[in-house]
Amino acid sequence: MYINGEWVKTNEWMEVTNPATGETIGSVPIITHKQMDLVINSAELAFHEWKRLSVYERAAYLHKWYELIDKNAEEIARVLTMEQGKPLKEALGEVHYANSFLEWYKEEGKRMYGETIPSQFREKRILIQKQPIGVVAAITPWNFPAAMITRKVAPALVAGCTIIIKPASQTPLTALLLAKYGHEAGIPKGVLNVITGKSSLIGDNLLQDPRVKKLTFTGSTEIGKQLMAQAATTVKKVSLELGGHAPFIVFEDANIEKAVKGAIQSKFRNAGQTCICANRIFVHESIHSTFIERFVEEVKKLKIGNGLNSQSDIGPLIDLSARNKVQSQIKDAIENGGLIHCGGRVVADNFLEPTVISNVKDEMMVMTEETFGPVAPIATFRNEDEVVNRANNSPYGLAAYFYTESLSRMYRVTESLEYGIIGVNDAAPSTAQAPFGGLKESGIGREGSHYGLDEYVEVKYVSISI
């Protein structure tokens, strides 16, 4: 663990395994209650100094950190693949995507402007200041072990906050490697902290402690709800990036080749283990057979294998329970009339073949539960109103995609879909300068863009009588 600028150990450890091989590739300490108080105290003390630096001084630290991550991207990507499983080419892409948040926020922090507002009284002046909120608790998921951390750390630190990061137990090594380079960048002690251990102990301590002013969580909706309730006990500011269940709609006037390419890209990235993966594919009945033929042809080209193998397109699922959950969705679809066009079988322990299922009904598990795996369920639809209603019929509202060549349809459907992120003929919308986040039970707040910076500041109103 990295606490107050030092590498800290304990007597208890937990192992980190490679999901592709089951081998133990490392171990990390299990934090104690006493160390929880140490890390919160360190972050609190550091905050009072860190916030006094100019944003240009803070940005300079982020710039050095950015340069070190860029220089060591291959090393970080290899560790990421070893503990998370994604193909090395995807892991390297994630490291650069993660670093883009440092690059973007080190400049955006310099635009954290205040305001003056005209008063109706001659003798009064109205001043609006933006100030850092304080100590931030960041709890992150295993599917993007680098990007889900820097998407929080970059705006938090440049705004003047200090941060305590708890990475997922499955993927702590990437977080610790990022901290190593943050240390080498000279980030002052107590500003950046990475702790590991039992989730509930860490969560209980962070969320009950009044010195922690903000919770930023990325993970499942179930855990997000639990943490939001715990944060309420000390009225912490909360940002939640939660589950998704993206509809992917192919209208009759779509460019089918673009739609097939986009569906492959969205569905099978990270073996389908991303919050914005296409989860429900809706194809207009008039082009269904053409789409399926081309889609299955391309899916069959995908190569499954260890992420360290440069030929692999699809790595393992994170663990056996994840694989079993996806398998149960496939089984339910088949039992209810779904037709398997390819895949559906376990290749080895955590490896599941990329699977395409047609004749899918909206009541099936695969169409109602988040599918964190390489399974593409395809349903047909007759008209725009029908498919928009079906697409919106979900407790989730994170990402949605649709393919059309019609400008008027693009506006109609974009305005009707109840999702925070919409890709129109585009299956890869994520970028640092744009706001990422969802509606409904997909979360609260945004990450990335200037909206993401606002999550780490308080707005102070100063009324002056002269």
Ligand X SMILES: O=C[C@H](O)CS(=O)(=O)O
Ligand Y SMILES: NC(=O)c1ccc[n+]([C@@H]2O[C@H](COP(=O)([O-])OP(=O)(O)OC[C@H]3O[C@@H](n4cnc5c(N)ncnc54)[C@H](O)[C@@H]3O)[C@@H](O)[C@H]2O)c1
User: CB of 200: closest distance to ligand Y in angstroms?
Assistant: 5
Residues facing 463 on adjacent strands: 126
Which is closer to ligand X, CB of 55 or CB of 246? 246
Q: Which of 69, 91, 398, 400 binds ligand Y (CB under 6 A)?
A: 398
160 binds ligand Y (CB under 6 A): no
Kindly tell me which residue out of 8, 79, 88, 147 binds ligand X, with binding defined by CB under 6 A.
Answer: 147
Of 106-114, 272-280, 330-338, 458-466: span binding ligand X (CB under 6 A): 272-280
Return the residue of 241, 384, 454, 455 that touches ligand Y, per CB under 6 A.
241
Please tell me which residue in 83, 103, 108, 241 is annotated as part of the active site: 241
First to last CA, the chain: 52
99 binds ligand X (CB under 6 A): no
Catalytic residue among 275, 370, 441, 447: 275
CB of 244 to ligand Y, least distance (A): 5
With respect to ligand X, which residue has the nearer C-beta, 8 or 91? 91
Nearer to ligand X, 284 or 446 (CB): 446
Q: Pick from 155, 182, 197, 203: which binds ligand Y (CB under 6 A)? A: 203
Cα distances from 297 to residues 254, 351, 353, in angstroms, run 19, 20, 14
**Binding of residue 240 to ligand X (CB under 6 A):** no
For ligand X, which is the closer residue by CB, 174 or 430?
430
As measured in angstroms, the least distance from the Cβ of 438 to ligand X is 10
144 binds ligand X (CB under 6 A): yes
The answer to whether 277 is a known catalytic residue is: no
Whose Cβ is closer to ligand X: residue 5's or residue 420's? 420
CB of 185 to ligand Y, least distance (A): 24
Q: Quick one: which segment of 5-13, 24-32, 268-276, 372-380 binds ligand X (CB under 6 A)?
A: 268-276
CB of 70 to ligand Y, least distance (A): 23
Nearest to 274 by CA among 153, 389, 163, 423: 423
- 275 catalytic? Reply is yes
Active site residues per annotation = 241, 275
The binding site for ligand X (CB under 6 A) comprises: 143-144, 147, 274-276, 430, 436
